[in-house]
Amino acid sequence: MKFSEVIGQEDAQARLLQLVRENRVPHAIMLCGPYGSGKLALALAFASYLLGERNEEGQSVLNNDHAVTNAEAMLRNWEHPDLHFTFPVIRPTGTSSDHKMVSDDFGREWRTLLKEGAYFSMDQWLDRMKATTQQAQIFEAESDELTRKLSLKSSQGGYKISLIWLPERMNQVCANKLLKLLEEPPLQTLFILVCEEPEKLLETIRSRVQRIDVRRIDDQAIEQALVEKRGLEADMAHRIARTANGNWLKALETLDADNENRQFLETFKQLMRLAYMRNVKELKKWTEGVAGYGREKQRRMLDYFSRMVRENFMYNFRLPELNYMTMEEEDFAKNFARFINEANVMEIEELFASARRDIGQNANAKIVFFNMVLEMIVLLIKK
């Protein structure tokens, strides 16, 4: 994968390439940034370049043309023997308790998804694993497997690269074992961590990596990609780029007529209408419906609700440049925004944030959501 396939992020690309030119590539790099910013794409492009893929100018870190061609062929299918992937997985229903789950258990599904594109969400990955209500994590056995792999000599004589997607999903035992690897890295090994919530990592891990912050993608870069890669008209691409707010995955979701955000919008509208009417009986039904979602989807829904509250609060200022909503969201905001004001906006935000924390800690979803809707009744009438 070439850097030209990464959407935007020119500053981060330049910094990575400068490390190579100056021969200052550290043993561990952590790319940190928000969901949809293209961190994984950037990591894959960097790993590909270090393993021998030619850049846009036809240059490679390898001197032998045959070796370059061979490396590119292996990277095309993400099957280079010196590129090791670690990523969150589920424990499928019916799996023996004696089986120790590792990333390679879903290696085929992972590489298939990568070949389709470097931009995907955790939800898409869960779908590939055929997850139901399971939460994906990196289990203890993964660190043992990684230690074994990295103890071997480089197959091609260059770097051995360990690319870890979402290391914040490591369990405690796995994280402690990874720390030991980072403290005493195997020879000529580079760790690339792709992280969205670095605060959830051990402080000792964060202190042993060189952090590179990947910012939201520029609207102009998203707009250009929508025109060039998706064939959109300039006006539509401009509106979607503004709504995406630096998130390429969100831009793609907007193109999907049945995308999840439309479902979340309808769910949000239903919640607010029922709360305003104080219809506890129907709110209980609403609670039972969303309690049936998987926990990952529940968390995404609550993130969406928080964004809608912020957008509706800003809508009251009547400054279009401050709003990043779709046409459907704006249509609802015209009548609803007045109910989100200085008296309740912070409390509603905290209500959703608290529910998200509880769901993440495996609290009973029905209880969490029913408590949330009852509090919403009170908050919505605050002035």
For 178-220, how does the pLDDT look when each residue is reduced to its tens digit (9 = 90+)? 999 898 888 889 999 999 999 999 999 999 999 999 999 999 9
DSSP letter (8 states) at residue 340: S
What is the three-class DSSP state of 363?
coil
Position 382 confidence tier, pLDDT thresholds 50, 70, 90: confident
Identity (one letter) of the amino acid at 116? E
Instruction: Decide: 153 and 286 in contact? Cβ < 8 Å.
Output: no
pLDDT given at position 271: 96
Structural domains of the chain ordered from first start:
3-215 (3.40.50.300), 263-381 (1.20.272)
* Comparison of pLDDT for 326 and 376, the residue scoring more: 376
pLDDT given at position 289: 94
* Comparison of pLDDT for 158 and 9, the residue scoring more: 9
DSSP string, 191-219: EEEEES-GGGS-HHHHTTSEEEE-PPPPH
Position 325 confidence tier, pLDDT thresholds 50, 70, 90: confident
pLDDT given at position 46: 95
DSSP letter (8 states) at residue 153: P
pLDDT given at position 319: 80
Average of per-residue pLDDT values in the chain: 91
Position 345 confidence tier, pLDDT thresholds 50, 70, 90: very high
Strand partners, 86: 164
pLDDT given at position 353: 95
> Is it the case that residue 259 has pLDDT exceeding 80?
no
> Is it the case that residue 80 has pLDDT exceeding 70?
yes
Highest average pLDDT, of 18-27, 62-71, 281-290, comes from: 281-290
Average pLDDT of span 269-290: 95
pLDDT given at position 347: 95
* Comparison of pLDDT for 58 and 289, the residue scoring more: 289
Nearest to 225 by CA among 76, 75, 118: 118
Residue 266: CB atoms within 10 A of its CB come to 12
pLDDT given at position 67: 87
pLDDT given at position 258: 53
> Is it the case that residue 257 has pLDDT exceeding 60?
no
CA distances from 287 to 17, 292, 348, 367 (A): 50, 9, 17, 9
> Is it the case that residue 255 has pLDDT exceeding 80?
no
- Total-model pTM: 0.72
pLDDT given at position 349: 95
Position 154 confidence tier, pLDDT thresholds 50, 70, 90: confident
Average pLDDT of span 109-125: 92
Place of tokens 């408590």: 371
pLDDT given at position 341: 94
**6 Cβ contact list (under 8 Å, min separation 6):** 13, 38, 41, 42, 45, 118
Percent of the chain at pLDDT > 70 equals 99
pLDDT given at position 327: 80
pLDDT given at position 10: 92
Q: Enter the tokens of residue 261.
A: 């955000």
For the stretch 34-69, pLDDT in tens is 999 999 999 999 999 999 898 888 788 888 888 889
pLDDT given at position 43: 96
pLDDT given at position 132: 83
> Is it the case that residue 127 has pLDDT exceeding 70?
yes
pLDDT given at position 232: 85
Alpha-carbon distance 147 to 177, whole Å? 9
Instruction: Decide: 142 and 103 in contact? Cβ < 8 Å.
Output: yes
